[in-house]
């Protein structure tokens, strides 16, 4: 293919001439693959998928219909983030499964064997570790790092500037926050901080975690809790506001699961 020129194949597909497509790939109708994109061998690209310029996709990746990879962020004039930042292309590791209507932004890094379910969104400056699952309609905001073998379930919301370490579990409807000023005063711009969930931490359905707090390794936040202070490792916190309930049972500790 001639570099820099879009080619139309069978009247319904657009692939830039500089894009590199691996062996034995299938590409659906009305897919768009922009310049300098790289797609590994044995990939399945669904109908209406858009792969933006420079995106790198590993081998054996499945991307379902209407998904966008490498989207540029939108910036309000009031945003705390710079609109002129230059991002590295999005990178998708080997053997990933990416559902329908997923949006993965430019500057994101998805490791091997990650599953991102339908309608999820992964913002710029996000890293996701291998074998992690992002559930349906899960949202991961920018400047967030998620470790390996985590599970973030349906409609969970991970705010910007957060860290989730390996083997964490986030139940459906969990909400994390990063702004103690609730969008008021200039002072807030100095204090944005997301949450930190240490290795093996677990958060029950519908829990809310306030800005800047840390959930200790192997700790549990019970369903429906509102976390207003740090949770020590290997402890269960429950209630509104969340308070110490009891230690995590020994048979549930990560060290006794044989996963590592």
Q: Using pLDDT thresholds of 50, 70 and 90, give the confidence band for residue 79.
A: low
**Same domain (yes/no): 209, 247:** yes
Q: Is residue 192 part of a domain?
A: yes
d(CA 232, CA 214): 8
Give me the number of domains the chain comprises: 2
* 190/228 same-domain check: yes
Rounded Cα–Cα distance for residues 185 and 257 (Å)? 47
Looking at the structure, do residues 110 and 161 belong to the same domain, yes or no? no
161: helix, coil or strand?
A: coil
Is 109 in the same domain as 169? Answer: no
How does DSSP classify residue 123? -
How would residue 74 be classed by pLDDT, with cut points 50, 70 and 90?
Answer: confident
For residue 36, pLDDT over 90 is answered with yes
Choose among 93, 3, 11, 14: nearest CA to 52.
14
Prediction pTM value: 0.92
For the stretch 155-214, pLDDT in tens is: 999 999 999 999 999 999 999 999 877 778 777 777 789 999 999 999 999 999 999 999
Sheet holding 62-63, edge to edge: 26-27, 44-45, 62-63, 97-98, 115-116, 133-134, 151-152, 169-170, 202-203, 220-221, 235-238, 243-247
d(CA 174, CA 152): 9
Per residue in 137-167, pLDDT (tens digit) is 999 999 999 999 999 999 999 999 999 999 9
Range 237-245 contact pairs with CB under 8 angstroms and sequence separation of 24 or more: 242/207
CATH number of 246's domain: 2.160.10.10
Residue whose pair of structure tokens reads 């400047």 in the numeric block: 143
**What pLDDT was estimated at residue 234?**
98
The residue segments making up the domain with residue 172 are: 150-255
Question: How far is the C-alpha of 30 from the C-alpha of 41, rounded, in Å?
Answer: 20
């Amino acid at each position: 293919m001639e570099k820099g020129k879009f080619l139309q194949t069978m009247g319904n597909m657009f692939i830039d001439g500089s894009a590199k497509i691996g062996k034995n790939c299938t590409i659906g109708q009305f897919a768009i693959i922009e310049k300098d994109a790289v797609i590994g061998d044995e990939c399945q690209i669904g109908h209406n998928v858009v792969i933006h310029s420079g995106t790198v996709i590993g081998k054996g990746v499945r991307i379902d219909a209407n998904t966008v990879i490498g989207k540029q962020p939108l910036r309000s004039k009031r945003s705390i983030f710079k609109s002129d930042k230059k991002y590295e292309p999005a990178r998708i590791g080997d053997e990933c499964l990416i559902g329908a209507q997923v949006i993965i932004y430019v500057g994101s890094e998805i490791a091997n064997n990650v599953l991102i379910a339908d309608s999820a969104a992964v913002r710029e400056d996000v890293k996701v570790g291998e074998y992690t699952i992002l559930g349906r309609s899960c949202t991961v905001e920018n400047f967030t790092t998620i470790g390996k073998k985590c599970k973030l379930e349906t409609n969970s919301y991970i705010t910007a500037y957060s860290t989730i370490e390996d083997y964490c579990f986030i139940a459906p409807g969990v909400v994390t926050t990063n702004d103690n000023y609730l969008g008021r005063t200039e002072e807030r711009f100095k204090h944005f901080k997301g949450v930190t969930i240490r290795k093996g931490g677990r958060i029950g359905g519908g829990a809310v975690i306030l800005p800047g707090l840390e959930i200790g390794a192997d700790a549990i936040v019970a369903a429906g809790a509102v976390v207003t202070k740090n949770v020590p490792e290997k402890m269960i916190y429950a209630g509104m506001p969340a308070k110490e309930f009891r230690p995590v049972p020994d048979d549930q500790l990560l060290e006794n699961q044989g996963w590592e």
